[in-house]
Amino acid sequence: MRYLDVVKAERIRIYDVARMAGVSVATASKALNDTGRMTEETRARVKETAASLGFRPNAMARALTSQRSFTIGLLTNDTYGRFTLPVMAGINEALIDQGVSVFLCGIEDDAALGKIHVDAMLDKQVDGIIATGKRIDRRLPVDLSNLPVPVVYAFTQGPDDAVTLVSDDALGGRLATEHLLDLGRRNLVHITGPESFASVSARATAFRTLAGAGASVLHGPWSEAWGHEAIARLWSGSDVPDGIFCGNDQIARGVVDALRERGVSVPEEVSVIGFDNWEIVSAATRPPLTTIDMNLKELGREAGRLILELAEGKPVEPGIRTLPCKLVVRQSCGSEIFAAQAQGWVTHEA
């Protein structure tokens, strides 16, 4: 049996990589960790050999050498996953190439459960914790201050001296309103969620700034039923809108369905735009919704990048970092080719 067949029958060790590449174990280790002095040809040969053998560094040995566990804790009260899942997808993309795993814990809104999970993360010696939630103006029901590991907050409220990542709701509101105005819609209405949400306030302010201080903003729950109810209110009067900006995609689907039931054509008579780009809702609506994407996956990538820098002891400036939203164009607004596409804020989808 060839040597390569023998080593493949067992776990590949760095000794095997060194022997096949014709270098010492020390050189192989340095080449794989991008340290030490050697020719680029040698470094490349060692890496190619490791890849061909399917070599994976021993996690325990790696941890002992670097004094890190190469795991990150992800703590969330968004157990439904609407916001956490795309954030986690971005975190995984940022960490996987660094050999770092994510340890996810859902805490509901239970402070005692939150403490249990934080203690478990610390027992597992995670290199850091990313906290994420359901809204940007509420903290998780667990104290994450004074922990022995760094913490990054993503789509949840963090303390003033923390690193916090949020989506730019004001920009999203502007993009939605500008899109409706660029399409020639002039009688605009914003149907959105509860006034108590900071994101609702930011989007509504942006909407009024562009649509006019007298433009109507209707507040209600985050539901399709509220979209139906809002249309019933609006169509009970004589001044009906020709453009509707909705606070989320669920409200927007309720609006579109309610308009169709009244014989009002979308987008010919009324343009409708949502917010969130929750594809199981926005892409399934008929017609598919033009909407605002909060870039939660990119927010997760940035959170992953920053927690790694903090875990490695690199300086990271604290404060709130606001990531841009983007407009995703489908068919619910009508003529969808407009000048803002050149600004790079727009994505077109079938």
H helix runs in the chain, sequence order? 3-8, 14-21, 25-32, 40-53, 59-66, 84-96, 111-123, 169-182, 198-211, 224-234, 249-261, 279-282, 296-311
Q: Where in the chain is the domain with CATH 3.40.50.2300?
A: 66-168+296-323, 169-293+327-348
The larger pLDDT score, comparing residue 12 to residue 287, is at: 287
Over range 42-51, report the average pLDDT: 91
The larger pLDDT score, comparing residue 156 to residue 50, is at: 156
Name the residue with tokens 């080719």.
337
The larger pLDDT score, comparing residue 129 to residue 33, is at: 129
pLDDT band at 153 (very low <50, low <70, confident <90, very high): very high
CA distance to 64, 152, 161, per residue, from 145 (Å): 27, 11, 10
**Class of CATH domain 169-293+327-348:** alpha beta
Q: Lowest-pLDDT range, 9-13, 108-112, 188-192, 234-238?
A: 9-13
The larger pLDDT score, comparing residue 219 to residue 50, is at: 219
pLDDT in tens, 80-137: 888 999 999 999 999 887 778 898 999 988 999 999 999 999 998 899 999 999 999 9
**Class of CATH domain 3-57:** mainly alpha
Over range 25-37, report the average pLDDT: 80
pLDDT band at 51 (very low <50, low <70, confident <90, very high): confident
Q: Where in the chain is the domain with CATH 1.10.260.40?
A: 3-57
**Residue 119's CB: how many other CB atoms inside 10 A?**
10
pLDDT for the residue 27 = 86
pLDDT in tens, 279-320: 899 999 999 999 999 999 999 999 999 999 999 889 999 999
pLDDT in tens, 246-272: 999 999 999 999 999 999 999 999 999
* Exposure letters 169-202 (e unless 16+ CB within 10 A, then b): bbbbbbbbbbbbeebebeebbbbbbeeebebbbb
pLDDT for the residue 45 = 93
- Predicted confidence (pLDDT) at residue 7 exceeds the cutoff of 50: no
Residue 121's nearest CA partner among 97, 92, 142, 93 is 142
pLDDT for the residue 250 = 97
pLDDT for the residue 340 = 41
pLDDT band at 3 (very low <50, low <70, confident <90, very high): very low
pLDDT band at 347 (very low <50, low <70, confident <90, very high): low
pLDDT for the residue 11 = 64
Q: What are phi and psi of 19, to 5 degrees?
A: -65, -45
pLDDT for the residue 341 = 43
pLDDT for the residue 8 = 44
The larger pLDDT score, comparing residue 54 to residue 335, is at: 54
| 66-168+296-323 CATH | 3.40.50.2300
